[in-house]
Amino acid sequence: RKYAHLTKEERVMIATLKSQGLSNRAIGRQLGVNHQTINNELKRGTVRQIRRQKFNGKTYDYPYHIYSYEAGQNIYLKCHQRSGRPRLYYRSKRFLQLADQLMLGEFDEHRYSPQAAIYKARDLMSDDSLIPKSVVTLYQWINDGVLRTSNLDLF
């Protein structure tokens, strides 16, 4: 098995096998993954816990580290959600404002179609990389609610 993410069940197995004292290599052999994957997962999911003990009216704290499959799974999910290419509309706020003005008729007396708004924006804006290459993209942004313009405004 290569290039596959660990599942929640595999993380539970890692926690169980590690608590039994197995090495990373032995755990990796049992799960069919590289020992470095096990090491990375143990680093990701290790949490600090504190054992408190009272003695003669004083409280003593003894910190220790333990692997938690829940913490590992939560960190994995958080990182996985952040991964991927950032959307173009996060970088092209100026184009979004201009496209809204053009399609809603706020720029001049004309109401532009999405295709015409892209062409007009290419004439007006200096940075062409922030303008979508396809009119389909602009229609998707309208449907997703990224723009103030709605489908009803286009008729």
Residue 2 pLDDT exceeds 80: no
Residue 7 pLDDT exceeds 90: yes
pLDDT of 118 reads 93
Residue 1 pLDDT exceeds 80: no
Mean of the per-residue pLDDT values of the chain: 92
Query: How many C-beta atoms lie closer than 10 Å to residue 96's C-beta?
Result: 20
Helix (H) or strand (E) segment spanning residue 47: strand 46-55
In tens, the pLDDT along 13-32 reads 999 999 999 999 999 999 99
pTM over 0.75: no
- Cβ–Cβ < 8 Å for 107, 98: yes
Binning pLDDT at 50, 70 and 90, where does residue 154 land? confident
Instruction: For 150, list phi and psi in degrees, rounded to 5.
Output: -115, 175
pLDDT of 92 reads 86
Binning pLDDT at 50, 70 and 90, where does residue 85 land? confident
In tens, the pLDDT along 33-74 reads 999 999 999 999 999 999 999 999 999 999 999 999 999 999
Radius of gyration of the chain (CA): 27
